[in-house]
């Protein structure tokens, strides 16, 4: 497209999973778009990363569930689409290989046709007179009213360590394992990339140390999938059982070369005042990635946050300083850094569904789409049960995406699905005069999350630790009441007769304050009903 042609509604920069998802949803909404990709194929990132080609995002093919949305709770890689295209059609591996995922994304891109523009490396994005110009390295110009930057995190993030430039980096180091035969290796960082790399070297290196100043954070403790996953923890076993490997809590302060070896000066953080000098044959930096803002003209370049890794953005993922400049993909985690799953496909695909709705509404001048439901206790209970049991967005973005139902006033009965909770709290028109906010959230697992003590009560007491529904009642923008509903081992609060024959395991539980084993579905229905009635919602069945 030349600069003389019509202006696009939205130009999407970067054809990884986020860009493909955004382009697909915007097309479905009738917008004129272009999706620009620097390489000669989509998803340049996953053609190279993870370096050792094993995903840690799950692909659970057999769930016992028929509902397509509920299935996505356990499919962390597929993109949202109406055509039924899913990663499970390409591989049944629980942790897929990266190359199969690239095949899936290539097939997904076919649905976008000529809107995908390959070999279009963006040199600069500028804005004048409310129109963006996206210029490629070969001189092509795309003019658009909106721009989504979905270029991912492409640059290494480096700690402030003297001599860090001497090290190899996860982004481009030679991963040929035979290079490390009988070598001493230091890996800087304690995330999944660090342990993935260490684990691959177990049969080759003579000694492997994994170092950072902070202790390891495990995903099973924090419920954040970006922390170290169990699949990457074999290395820790070799440390604890004294097999020449170690996890070192230390801050590297200086790295020097001495011939073919590295001398690393470090200050221990677990032993205050203790310093150590170590010698290695290889030092590999696995300290993460950062977003590259250089494609944006300086006058529209956003501020950065979270160690300068990500752009600052609004709860709608829009630039705080440049209207109609949006962000999608892993950089969306700027809003919920290390709290929920916006940095990963299974989180940001749902964010992008909301983002596409926001952009389409602005382009087309339409209101946020919603369903209309009856505001009476019985239908409200049914709606809440279905949503908390089947919504993948609410389940995978706990406390971050939720539903809003208007209980009274001129918008009575409106039901908004899977929208950003922080945006809801800041938007009076969405909360209206009287509304219910529905989310799924975790409670407090304490210090031993694999052995949680609990007082399981239906009413009162501490919120359950496992993921559970939370209802909040807002009136004129102020939260006036809240209830934490009972958790459920299957996270499915439907009645047994409403479930698939192959779905679910739990049928009844004992509640301390109710004194007997009861079907959880009935207990939760009563919890919701009683809460709604206490908040003034009419109960037509009781009236009859």
Query: If pLDDT is split at 50, 70 and 90, which confidence band does 445 have?
Result: confident
* Alpha-carbon separation of residue 234 from 52, 241, 301, 338 (angstroms): 15, 11, 42, 23
Query: If pLDDT is split at 50, 70 and 90, which confidence band does 512 have?
Result: confident
Mean pLDDT of the chain: 94
Q: Do strands 289-290 and 282-285 pair parallel, antiparallel, or not at all (unpaired)? A: unpaired
**pLDDT for residue 217 is more than 80:** yes
Q: Give the residue with greater pLDDT, 312 vs 453.
A: 312
- Specify the pLDDT at position 5: 59
Supply angle C-alpha 109, 110, 111, rounded to 5.
90
Q: Can you tell me the mean pLDDT for 475-500? A: 94
Q: Which fold has domain 8-154+290-364?
A: FAD/NAD(P)-binding domain (3.50.50)
DSSP 8-state class, residue 212: E
Task: Measure the N-to-C terminal CA separation of the chain; round to a whole number of Å.
Answer: 64
Phi and psi at residue 106, in whole multiples of 5°? -60, -40
Phi and psi at residue 148, in whole multiples of 5°? -110, 120
Q: Can you tell me the mean pLDDT for 88-98? A: 97
β partners of residue 311: 304
Query: If pLDDT is split at 50, 70 and 90, which confidence band does 4 have?
Result: very low
Q: Give the residue with greater pLDDT, 213 vs 448.
A: 213
Q: Which of the residue ranges 77-91, 151-165, 528-542 would you say has the lowest mean pLDDT?
A: 528-542
- Specify the pLDDT at position 502: 92
User: Considering the chain, what percentage of its residues have pLDDT values greater than 70?
Assistant: 96
Task: Convert the pLDDT of each residue in 377-420 to its tens digit.
Answer: 999 999 999 999 999 999 999 999 999 999 998 899 999 999 99
Q: Can you tell me the mean pLDDT for 155-163? A: 96
Q: Which residue has the tokens 């290494």?
A: 156
Phi and psi at residue 402, in whole multiples of 5°? -155, -175
Q: Give the residue with greater pLDDT, 410 vs 184.
A: 184
371: left (phi over 0), alpha (psi -120 to 50) or beta: beta
Phi and psi at residue 247, in whole multiples of 5°? -105, 120
Q: Can you tell me the mean pLDDT for 11-30? A: 99
**pLDDT for residue 3 is more than 60:** no
Q: Which of the residue ranges 221-225, 264-268, 418-422 would you say has the lowest mean pLDDT?
A: 221-225
Q: Spell out the SS3 assignment of 34-82.
A: EEECCCCCCCHHHHHCCCCCECCCCECCCCCCCCHHHHHHHECCCCCCC
Nearest to 75 by CA among 60, 85, 91, 95: 60
- Specify the pLDDT at position 465: 84
Tokens of 382: 């049914």
Q: Spell out the SS3 assignment of 402-471.
A: EEEEECCCCCCCEEEEEEEHHHHHCCHHHHCCEEEEEEEECCCCCCCCCCCCCCCCCCCCCCCCCCEEEE
Domain chopping of the chain, boundaries = 8-154+290-364, 164-287, 371-543
pTM over 0.75: yes
User: Considering the chain, what percentage of its residues have pLDDT values greater than 90?
Assistant: 88
Helices (H) and strands (E) in the chain, counts: 14, 26
**pLDDT for residue 358 is more than 60:** yes
If DSSP codes are grouped into helix, strand and coil, which group holds residue 108? helix
Tokens of 269: 């953080």
Task: Convert the pLDDT of each residue in 272-308 to its tens digit.
Answer: 889 999 999 999 999 999 999 999 999 999 999 999 9
Q: Can you tell me the mean pLDDT for 431-457? A: 82
- Specify the pLDDT at position 544: 44
Q: Can you tell me the mean pLDDT for 159-186? A: 97
Q: Can you tell me the mean pLDDT for 195-216? A: 97
Q: Do 8-154+290-364 and 164-287 agree at the fold level? A: yes
**pLDDT for residue 513 is more than 70:** yes
- Specify the pLDDT at position 176: 96
Query: If pLDDT is split at 50, 70 and 90, which confidence band does 454 have?
Result: low
Quote the CATH superfamily of domain 164-287: FAD/NAD(P)-binding domain (3.50.50.60)
**pLDDT for residue 94 is more than 50:** yes
- Specify the pLDDT at position 2: 43
* Alpha-carbon separation of residue 299 from 152, 302, 303, 327 (angstroms): 21, 9, 11, 17
């Amino acid at each position: 497209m030349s600069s003389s042609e019509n202006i696009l509604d939205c130009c999407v920069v970067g054809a990884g999973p986020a860009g493909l998802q955004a382009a697909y949803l915007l097309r479905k909404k009738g917008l004129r778009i272009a999706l620009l990709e620097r390489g000669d194929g989509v998803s340049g990132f996953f053609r190279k990363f993870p370096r050792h080609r094993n995903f840690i995002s799950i692909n659970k093919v057999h769930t016992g569930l028929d509902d397509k949305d509920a299935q996505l709770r356990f499919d962390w890689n597929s993109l949202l689409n109406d055509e039924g295209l899913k990663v499970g059609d390409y591989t049944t591996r629980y942790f897929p290989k990266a190359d199969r995922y690239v095949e899936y994304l290539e097939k997904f891109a076919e649905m976008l046709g000529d809107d995908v523009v390959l070999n279009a490396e963006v040199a600069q994005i500028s804005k004048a007179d409310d129109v963006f110009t996206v210029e490629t390295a070969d001189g092509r110009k795309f003019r658009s009213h909106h721009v989504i930057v979905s270029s991912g995190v492409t640059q290494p993030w480096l700690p402030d360590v003297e001599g860090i430039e001497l090290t190899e980096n996860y982004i481009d180091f030679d991963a040929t394992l035979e290079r490390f035969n009988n070598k001493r290796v230091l890996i800087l960082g304690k995330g999944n990339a660090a342990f993935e790399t260490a684990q691959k070297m177990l049969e080759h290196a003579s000694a492997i140390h994994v170092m950072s100043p902070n202790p390891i954070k495990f995903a099973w403790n924090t419920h954040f999938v970006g922390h170290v996953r169990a699949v990457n923890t074999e290395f820790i076993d070799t440390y604890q059982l004294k097999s020449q490997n170690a996890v070192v809590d230390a801050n590297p302060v200086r790295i020097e070369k001495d011939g073919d070896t590295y001398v690393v000066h470090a200050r221990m953080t677990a032993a205050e005042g203790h310093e150590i000098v170590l010698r290695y044959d290889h030092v590999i930096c696995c300290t993460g990635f950062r977003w590259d803002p250089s494609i944006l003209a300086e006058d529209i370049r956003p501020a950065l946050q979270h160690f300068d890794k990500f752009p600052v953005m609004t709860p709608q993922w829009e630039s705080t300083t440049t209207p109609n400049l949006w962000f999608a993909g892993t950089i969306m985690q700027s809003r919920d850094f290390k709290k929920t799953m916006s940095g990963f496909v299974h989180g940001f695909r749902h964010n992008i569904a909301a983002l596409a709705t926001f952009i389409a509404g602005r382009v087309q001048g339409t209101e946020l789409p919603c369903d209309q439901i009856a505001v009476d206790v019985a239908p409200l209970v049914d709606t809440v049960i279905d949503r908390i049991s089947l919504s993948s967005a609410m389940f995978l973005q706990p406390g971050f995406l939720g539903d809003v139902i208007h209980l009274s006033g001129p918008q009575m009965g409106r039901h908004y699905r899977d929208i950003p909770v922080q945006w809801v709290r800041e938007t009076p028109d969405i909360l209206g005069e009287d509304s219910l906010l529905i989310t799924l959230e975790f409670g407090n697992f304490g210090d031993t999350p694999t052995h949680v003590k609990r007082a399981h009560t239906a009413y009162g007491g501490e919120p359950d630790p496992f993921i559970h529904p939370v209802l909040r009642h807002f009136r004129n923008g102020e939260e006036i009441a809240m209830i934490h509903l009972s958790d459920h081992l299957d996270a499915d609060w439907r009645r047994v007769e409403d479930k698939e024959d192959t779905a679910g395991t739990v049928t009844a539980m004992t509640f301390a304050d109710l004194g007997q084993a009861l079907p959880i579905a009935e207990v939760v229905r009563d919890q919701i009903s009683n809460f709604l009635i206490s908040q003034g919602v009419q109960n037509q069945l009781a009236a009859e």
